[in-house]
Structure 1
Amino acid sequence: MRYIIIGAGAIGGTIGGRLFDSRREVVLVARGAHYEALRDGGLRLTLPSGSLKLPIPVVDGPEALELRADDVLVLAVKTQDSVAALDAWAGRPVVGGGTAGGRLPVVCAQNGVAGERLALRRFRRVYGMCVWLPASYLEPGSIEASCAPLTGILHIGRYPAGATATLGTDPLAERIATDLKESGFDAPSPPDVMRWKYGKLLKNLANALEATCGPLGGADDALDVLRRAVAEGEAVLDAAGIDRASDAEQTAARGDRIQLQPLNGVTRGGGSSWQSLTRGTGSIEADYLNGEIVLLGRMAGIDTPVNAALQEIANAFAREGRRPGEFTIPELTALIDSYERTGRD
């Protein structure tokens, strides 16, 4: 079995690097300067235990690779880039006949809950992955994964639940889980992986807040905004009848097995949205995190001013090339107040 990692950033690069280091067959897919650095010098993967230099094969797109029947596609791009990536790969021929969309499985290793549905329009066999994997990608060719003793926890299961007789588990999910467990991760196979992804969605509502206003720390005003954002999320999920893993379940699943460690004496700077602004990518995943809550709120007739404000300011930061942390909590609070006064959501 060969893993093709579509999007070799923080998450994809770490998963691909750890699988390759445990002697699994891996191909990374990257673009631009990152592709060139990986092609010329391999992947530098820094872990609490030390740095690895990994000569993983890399391509810059589907045209550069002949697809095989035993390939597993791992979609690790940000959700806003999913449609372009899925469209590029779904129609590619597979040796022996057929196309990737009809024959190959795709695993959505992404934040949010929209990627699987986007993939299912184009691929017959879709798997969800709930990613607990603090990692950073800030410079070409280099990924830092900050946790020990495990690198991360990756719940995996078939999408939608009920696609097989045993709900979300099937032999391929179990085989992928085994490979991941032998590569420095835990990889539970729950009956409904989306239940875990919805639970994590509520955690990821902090991403836009951290990216635009800086690290939350213990600041009461920032934590109050976050509490309000999560309360909106819980309300719209309840209204939609969407079950999710509880805080207690998530805490128990992680335990003390993924603990952030300084790398080379430096503590991790921030999460995925913070990294997007730091790298100046021009886009951010807020539409599929805070924006998911806004969408569900509009469908249920529930106002979500906090998440709408966070979605708006995060997108503005990405569009305008602003640096992380340039917005203040009072400015954000004023923006939220304007949403509440005008009835905008």
Structure 2
Amino acid sequence: MRYIVIGAGAVGGTIGARLHQGGHEVLLVARGAHYEALKRDGLRLITPESDEKLPIPVADGPVPTRDDDVLIVATKSQDTIAALDPWPSGLPVVCAQNGVDNERMALRRFARVYGMCVWLPAQHLEPGIVVAPCHPYSGILHVGRYPQGVDDLTRQIVADLGKRGFEAHAQPDVMRWKYGKLLGNLANAVDALVGGGVPGAAQLIDRTRAEAREVLDKAGIAYTTTEEEAEIRGHKMDTRAIEGVERGGGSSWQSLAKGSGSIEADYLNGEIVLLGREHGVRTPVNEVLRREANRFAREKLPPRSMPLETLLALVDQA
């Protein structure tokens, strides 16, 4: 079986690297300077234990496929449709992404779709380099068939992921885990705009998640609890400082730091806004975060450059 990782950034690069280290055939798909660096030097994976250059094959677009290929899409949600469009619809697709809409988007074209709830803090700011700072595992990954269930391919993917650097679980209710992860990711916009560690930011994040839980409960959507997640996570993913590596922020912070021009807020805070509109629940906090994160990305403003007082005033006005 060959794993084709579409979007070899922080998450995709780490998954591809760990599968490669576990002895599996991997092809990374990347673009621009990142592709050129991977093609020239291989993928440099930096972890608390090692700093390795891995000679993983790379492409900058679709390649001839085989019957045993598995697509792992790890792009941002706003890029999912374009990323999957060139690939044959007969292949299985694993959505290793934040948000809960990617699987549904993929299912329009692909008959076999799998969700992956990704607990994997990682950083990709320089071409060819991915940093995975957690120990003893780089991450914990939950995999299941979409919309629900576990099959033989699920079990094979979980076994392969668990060979090196990850703890992996087969979850028949994988979307419940992804909705739980969505609640956590609602803080991404706060971190990107003002910084999650700024005094007062934690209270805003609490408001954001309380608003979201009200929406999910009204919609009848199940989600994992923080207690349930903590029981599995334990101390299996403790973040460690790595000499010479400056720790940045999460995925939304990285989008702003790289000046990519887009951000996934429409599929994080925006998912709560959408559900709120569908079920008659007001979501002013998440709407402001969605709108302002998109504005920052569009105008290429630097991350964490909005004063918290400004953001709170916008929320209060809403």
Q: Structure 2-normalised TM-score?
A: 0.98
Give the structure 1 partner of residue 197 of structure 2: 217
Tell me how far 1:277 sits from its aligned partner: 0.4
Mind listing any 5+ residue stretches in structure 2 that lack a counterpart? none
Q: Partner of 1:86 in structure 2?
A: 84
Name which one, 1 or 2, has greater alpha-carbon Rg: 1
1:50 aligns with 2:50: yes
The equivalent of 2:183 in structure 1 is 202
Aligned: 1:156 with 2:154: no
1:119 alignment partner in structure 2: 106
Distance in 2 (CA, whole Å) between partners of 1:217 and 1:328 is 13
> Which amino acid in 2 is paired with 1:43?
L
C-alpha deviation, 1:338, in angstroms: 1.7
Q: Distance in 1 between matches of 2:316 and 2:227?
A: 32
Deviations 1:243-282 (A, max 9, x none): 0111101111111101101111545211000000000100
SS in 2 for 1:131: strand
1:69 matched to 2:67: yes
Per the alignment, residue 245 of structure 1 pairs with 224
Q: Which residue of 2 aligns with 1:37?
A: 37
Find 1:301's aligned residue among 273, 276, 280.
280
Cα distance between partner residues in 2 of 1:177 and 1:218? 38
> Equivalent residue for 1:287?
266
AA matched with 2:174: V
Match of 1:97 in 2: none
Q: Deviations over 1:174-195 (max 9, x none)?
A: 0010010002111111121000
Instruction: Assess if the C-alpha contact under 8 Å between 1:11 and 1:133 holds in 2.
Output: yes
Compute the displacement of 1:88 (Å).
Answer: 2.0
What per-residue deviation string (whole Å, max 9, x for no partner) do you get for residues 36-67 of structure 1?
A: 000011000001101110010000001xx110
SS of the aligned residue for 2:71 comes to strand
Q: Look up the SS of the partner of 1:119 in the other structure.
A: helix
Partner-residue secondary structure (3-state), 2:169: coil
Relative to the length of structure 1, the TM-score reads: 0.91
Q: Distance in 1 between matches of 2:86 and 2:245?
A: 38
Q: 2:243 aligns with which of 259, 264, 283?
A: 264
- Once the two structures are superposed, what CA deviation does each residue of 1:126-175 show, in whole Å capped at 9, x if it has no partner? 000000000000010000001010110000000011xxxxxx21110000
Q: How large is the RMSD of aligned CA atoms in angstroms?
A: 0.9
Match of 2:296 among 290, 312, 317: 317
1:49-92: CA deviations, max 9, x gaps?
A: 01110010000001xx1100000000000000001112122xxx
Q: CA deviation at 1:328?
A: 1.1
List 4+ stretches of structure 1 deviating above 4 A. Answer: none
| Unaligned residue ranges in structure 1 (runs of 5+) | 90-99, 162-167, 340-345
Aligned positions, number: 318
Q: Tell me which residue corresponds to 2:97.
A: 110
Q: Distance in 1 between matches of 2:167 and 2:21?
A: 16
Which of 167, 173, 181 is matched with 1:192 structurally? Answer: 173
What SS is found at the alignment partner of 1:197? helix
Q: Which amino acid in structure 2 is aligned with residue 81 of structure 1?
A: D
In structure 1, the residue matched to 2:316 is 337
Match of 1:10 in 2: 10
1:261–1:267 Cα contact (<8 Å) kept: no
Taking the aligned partners of 1:250 and 1:226, their CA distance within structure 2 comes to 18
Report percent identity of matched pairs: 59
Offset at 1:217?
2.3
Would the aligned equivalents of 1:7 and 1:29 in 2 still touch at CA under 8 Å?
yes
**Distance (whole Å) between structure 2 residues aligned to residue 267 and residue 173 of structure 1:** 36
What is the aligned partner in structure 2 of residue 93 from structure 1?
Answer: none
